[in-house]
Amino acid sequence: MTATAEDLSFRQSVRDWLASNFPPALAGKSYRATVEKDPALASDLESWRGRLAAQGWGAPTWPKKYGGAGLSHPEAKVIQEEMEPLGAFNPIPTLAGMGVTMVGPTMLEYGTDDQKARHLRGMASGEIRWCLGLSEPNAGSDLASLSARAEDKGDHFLINGQKIWTSGADVSQWCGALVRTDPSAAKRDGISFVLLPMDQPDVRTRPIRLISGVSPFCETYFDDARADKADLLGKLNDGWSVIKRLLQHERQSQTSADRRKLDNEEPLPDLAKRYVGTDADGTLSDKDLRARLIDNMMADKAHTLTVARIRAEAQGQVKVSAAASILKNSATTVAQTKAELKMEIMGAQGVGWEGDAFEPDELASVREWLFGKAASIYGGSYEVQYNIIAKNILGLPETTQKG
């Protein structure tokens, strides 16, 4: 694909705007690095967020009337590409929690005009944070077996039940929740998707401590919590369609998000050379480790090339592709193996939990390795992904459900 003059002029306008609007003090940071490690930059960040939001670039492909910029996906990609050399970043998807990445895109398809008008701008500006109440303690991968229920009270639903893995529930203003509205219907047929404010006395959250330490996840309890009827997303008892679409958006955001390089991450071969040493010919002295490191790097490269290939095949159009199911497991395997290799490379320095006997990088590697174990569990487990490939892509019979 060769660039047209129009493309080039758009790119130039983006470049110009970024040059005059991105606060240089934030260059090379990320949202997390900024707020967690450098509170002094908070006002720069807030000003940057405001300018992005005003431009509609928090969610650039959304319509202008809902706080977006009405751009095409290739145009949105140009913004991303032009941010890179400046070390610029878009903090809004993070600030909006599950808003920009998942609830918003789904609302654009399933929402009423009233819902779009009331909710989308807050997401696109990064001012309203959203969480998702999907999983339940006894449901796991079998989302459809959920038992949180919503009782019809005329103009609103009364919601009772418990959700788990509600990321950021303790700091969110709104929640999209999957609830059972018809207990007599077949499993997937009696479910609805409702939106409700978190600031109610009858909503409680409890942070979950993970094997890796503190986490953004919560348990969330609804005891007679209230959701307006106007905030039913999609049709009554048709929540399963809504959630399937929403999870496709989740997988897609994971596929790209998981692949972003961490700030200043040292390449594994360099790390290995530092910890393990090399032979006279410059090759790693631990050949067994080296062979497995090569495997992992090749798998990583193959994954990257596949992401690029799928993009090229879609000719620049972002399409929710069936191949996304392959990428989730591939990305997870590469990342988890990489984390294991990192631990192995660090050896006795790769087993630390806290304290001065270990470098901060070493401790961070351990925590990330542990946290990374979740990647093959959430958002469609490793097993569920394979079920999906077998059934939806290869056309083999369903193996998880009878009848």
Partner 1 sequence: MAALTEEQSIIRDQAKAWAAEQAPVQAFRAMRDSGAATGFEPKTWSAMAELGWTGIVIPEAYGGSDLGYLTFGLVLEELGRNLTASPLFASGLVGAAALVLGGTEAQKQALLPAIAKGSAIATLAVDEGPRHAPAGTALRAERDGSGYRLSGEKTFVFEGLAATDLIVAARTAGSPGETAGITLFLIPADTAGVNRTPMQTMDSRGYATIRFDSVPTPAEAVLGETDNGFGLLDAVLDRGRAGLGADMLGTAAQAFDMTLEYLKTRKQFGQVIGGFQALGHRAAALFSGMELARSCVEAALQALDDDAPDTAQLCSLSKAKMGEHLFQMSNQLIQIHGGIGMTDEFDAGFYLKRARVLEAAFGNRAFHRDRYARLLGF
Q: Is residue 187 a contact residue for a copy of itself (CB under 8 A)?
A: no
* Residues in 200-219 at the binding interface with partner 1, rule: CB under 8 A: 208-211, 213
- The CA radius of gyration of the chain, in Å to the nearest whole number, is 23
Binding residue (CB under 8 A) for a copy of itself from 64, 65, 206, 287: 287
Determine the distance from the C-alpha atom of residue 25 to the mean position of all C-alpha atoms in its chain, rounded to a whole number.
26
Within 121-208, strands assigned E span 130-133, 149-152, 156-164, 174-180, 191-197, 203-207
Cβ-contact 134, 143 below 8 angstroms: yes
From CA 383, how far away is CA 329, in angstroms rounded?
9
Half-sphere exposure of 54 (CA within 13 A, CB side): 8
Question: Which residue's CB is nearer to partner 1, number 125 or number 336?
Answer: 336
Span near partner 1 by CB under 8 A; candidates 30-38, 168-176, 248-256, 293-301: 293-301
Q: Is residue 290 a contact residue for a copy of itself (CB under 8 A)?
A: yes
Tell me phi and psi for residue 352, to 5 degrees. -80, 155
Pairing of strands 218-228, 174-180: unpaired
Binding residue (CB under 8 A) for partner 1 from 5, 40, 186, 348: 348
Span near partner 1 by CB under 8 A; candidates 61-69, 82-90, 107-115, 276-284: 276-284
Q: Is residue 352 a contact residue for partner 1 (CB under 8 A)?
A: yes
Question: Which residue's CB is nearer to a copy of itself, number 145 or number 283?
Answer: 283
- 363 burial (CB, 10 Å; 0-12 / 13-18 / 19+) is middle
Count the neighbouring beta carbons within 10 Å of the beta carbon of residue 38. Answer: 14
108 contact choice in a copy of itself, partner 1, none (CB below 5 to 8 Å, kind-dependent): none
Q: How far is the CB of 287 from a copy of itself (least distance, A)?
A: 4
Question: Which residue's CB is nearer to a copy of itself, number 288 or number 356?
Answer: 288
Binding residue (CB under 8 A) for partner 1 from 167, 273, 321, 361: 273
User: Given 250, 340, 362, 368, which residue is catalytic?
Assistant: 250
182 contact choice in partner 1, a copy of itself, none (CB below 5 to 8 Å, kind-dependent): none
* Residues in 48-107 at the binding interface with a copy of itself, rule: CB under 8 A: none
Residue whose C-alpha is closest to residue 166's, from 207, 210, 202: 207
Q: How far is CA 394 from CA 58, 141, 180, 252, in A?
A: 37, 21, 32, 20
Q: How far is the CB of 245 from partner 1 (least distance, A)?
A: 21
* Residues in 84-123 at the binding interface with partner 1, rule: CB under 8 A: none
Q: How far is CA 240 from CA 34, 99, 322, in A?
A: 38, 19, 18
Pairing of strands 130-133, 174-180: parallel
Q: Is 151 a catalytic residue?
A: no
Contact characters 245-264, partner 1, x per CB under 8 A: --------------------
**Letter string b/e over residues 273-282, b meaning 16 or more CB atoms within 10 A of that residue's CB:** bebbeeeeee
Q: How far is the CB of 289 from partner 1 (least distance, A)?
A: 5
* Residues in 168-197 at the binding interface with partner 1, rule: CB under 8 A: none
Span near partner 1 by CB under 8 A; candidates 49-57, 175-183, 244-252, 289-297: 289-297
Q: How far is CA 224 from CA 91, 148, 208, 236, in A?
A: 34, 11, 23, 19
Q: How far is the CB of 310 from partner 1 (least distance, A)?
A: 9
Question: Which residue's CB is nearer to partner 1, number 209 or number 260?
Answer: 209
Half-sphere exposure of 307 (CA within 13 A, CB side): 19
Q: Tell me how long the chain is.
A: 403
* Residues in 291-350 at the binding interface with a copy of itself, rule: CB under 8 A: 291
From CA 149, how far away is CA 166, in angstroms rounded?
17
Binding residue (CB under 8 A) for partner 1 from 206, 229, 235, 301: 301
Span near partner 1 by CB under 8 A; candidates 11-19, 172-180, 229-237, 351-359: 351-359
Contact residues: a copy of itself, CB under 8 A: 287-288, 290-291
The catalytic residue positions are 250
